[in-house]
Amino acid sequence: MTRLTGRLLVGGELRPGALTIEGERISGLELDEPAWEPADLPVIAPGLIDLHIHGFALADPLDDLEGMARALARAGTTGFLPTLFPAAPRRLGAQCADFGPRRDALPPEVASPLGLHLEGPFVNPRAAGALPLQDLAEPSVAALREILGTASGDGRDIKNVTLAPELPGSADLVEELVRCGVRVSMGHSLAGAEEARAATRAGARGVTHLYNAMSGVHHRQTGLAGIALTEDLLYAEIIGDLVHVGLEAWDLALRCRGPRGLCLVSDALAGAGTGCDHFHVHGRDHEILGGTAYYPAGPGREERQLAGSAMSQLEMVRRLTEQGVVSLADALTMASTTPAHALGLEAERGVLSPGARADLLILGGEDLQLMQVWLAGTCLSA
């Protein structure tokens, strides 16, 4: 049995106390009334869960899943949805079919891939953002079946699909995905309010990277961002590099939804976690400035274009708290507890409570240094 003491993230608050670990699980929890300055204690939080990440440490889900999962664990993310870019449906289906065996072969000391997130291909070309237009597809159940295969449930380990609900045929996809147990997220979309609400009524439960690549908020035509800010059934992803989403938009999101409705995601590309200034992946050059990844200016592109982030979730937690955007407790909640709820894993992950899997972080000092990472009751670093 192992006993850890510190400021524990419980119920969205940091409270002094202790927890015990036996085997792979948290076996006990004790909360104290503060008898000393609680800031002197290390912070103990659930392992972070990233719902939207394309790569890390020059590894990605297709080329090096183990390398990506190993590096993420060392960076404080203990569970993640490996996120695939669009591809022709049959090709994307083959990529998904190959995922399960590779996931099952992973060693225990790496972050847990919790299922695939497909960012497309059924998204709006006029809101594609950094997604390659040539790889998008028109929504149809036949095309979806090429991706899912003949399996039922979350076929081929697909956990989440981002689609544009306003496209012809998307309503059928929402119905089929929900029937198959696959979570539907709305994004890369120009949906109006009624289209977004109709998809929500049909079972959509997520919004992909709030504000980015979607219809916004207008006083006569509320778009997808407006529905994400007002619909409690939806969990909205939000990127925390403070470039994809500025301070005022963060303030609006927090006032509307609070930390229990927002999931802090990295949307990181393979150059994240490396410290490099440039990287090349999937045939495209990228440059990194201040933790954000861009396609550089060049032929056919007069200005650099946002491509994703180059930060881990924990780095975003630090940036958000250093800038005074949100409290540490709320930032950690958005990066752990809320994503677990979004995936229906709140009894198992994202929480410090007896019976939950012992995935947790220990952070120390004002700079939130990562002191220890625990995976299923095993300490990775000291």
pLDDT per position as a tens digit, 209-260: 999 999 999 888 899 999 999 999 999 999 999 999 999 999 999 999 999 9
pLDDT of residue 301: 77
Helix axes 141-148, 89-97, angle to 10 degrees: 30
107 and 90, same structural domain?
Answer: yes
pLDDT per position as a tens digit, 249-291: 999 999 999 999 999 999 999 999 999 999 988 788 999 999 9
pLDDT at residue 159 greater than cutoff 60 = yes
- d(CA 338, CA 357) in angstroms, rounded, equals 16
pLDDT of residue 299: 75
| Type of residue found at 28 | G
377 and 342, same structural domain?
Answer: no
CB atoms within 10 A of CB 325: 17
* Length of the chain measured in residues: 382
Neighbouring C-alpha atoms within 13 Å toward the C-beta of 379: 12
328 and 343, same structural domain?
Answer: yes
CB 331 within 8 A of CB 317: yes
- d(CA 198, CA 339) in angstroms, rounded, equals 23
- The candidate with the shortest Cα–Cα distance to 77, out of 59, 63, 58, 56, is 56
Classify each residue of 263-293 as buried b or exposed e, where b means 16 or more C-beta atoms within 10 Å of its C-beta: bbbbbbbbbbbeeeeebebeeeebbbeebbb
326 and 200, same structural domain?
Answer: yes
Burial class (CB in 10 A: 0-12, 13-18, 19+), 40: exposed
- The candidate with the shortest Cα–Cα distance to 55, out of 211, 216, 266, 260, is 266
pLDDT of residue 284: 85
pLDDT of residue 151: 60
Mind telling me the catalytic residues? 267
- d(CA 29, CA 224) in angstroms, rounded, equals 40
144 and 123, same structural domain?
Answer: yes
pLDDT per position as a tens digit, 73-132: 999 999 999 999 999 999 999 999 999 999 999 999 999 999 999 999 999 999 999 999
115 and 14, same structural domain?
Answer: no
170 and 241, same structural domain?
Answer: yes
162 and 23, same structural domain?
Answer: no
Burial class (CB in 10 A: 0-12, 13-18, 19+), 202: middle
DSSP E strand stretches across 187-296: 206-207, 235-239, 262-265, 278-281, 284-289, 292-295
**Six-digit token string for 78:** 């203990």
Taking residues 145-161, report their average pLDDT: 83
Q: How many domains does the chain have?
A: 2
pLDDT at residue 368 greater than cutoff 50 = yes
CATH number of domain containing 371: 2.30.40.10
pLDDT of residue 297: 84
4 and 102, same structural domain?
Answer: no
98 and 13, same structural domain?
Answer: no
pLDDT of residue 332: 98
128 and 2, same structural domain?
Answer: no
CATH number of domain containing 117: 3.20.20.140
Residue 280 lies in domain: 48-349
- d(CA 93, CA 149) in angstroms, rounded, equals 7
Percent of the chain with pLDDT over 70: 97
286 and 231, same structural domain?
Answer: yes
**Six-digit token string for 187:** 């994004």
pLDDT at residue 141 greater than cutoff 50 = yes
pLDDT at residue 68 greater than cutoff 70 = yes
Q: What is the helix (H) or strand (E) element at residue 306, kind and residue range?
A: strand 305-309
- SS3 state at 253: helix
pLDDT per position as a tens digit, 280-328: 887 889 999 999 999 988 777 778 899 999 999 999 999 999 999 999 9
pLDDT of residue 382: 46
Q: Any residues with CB less than 8 A from the CB of 176 and at least 6 apart, and which? A: 141, 144
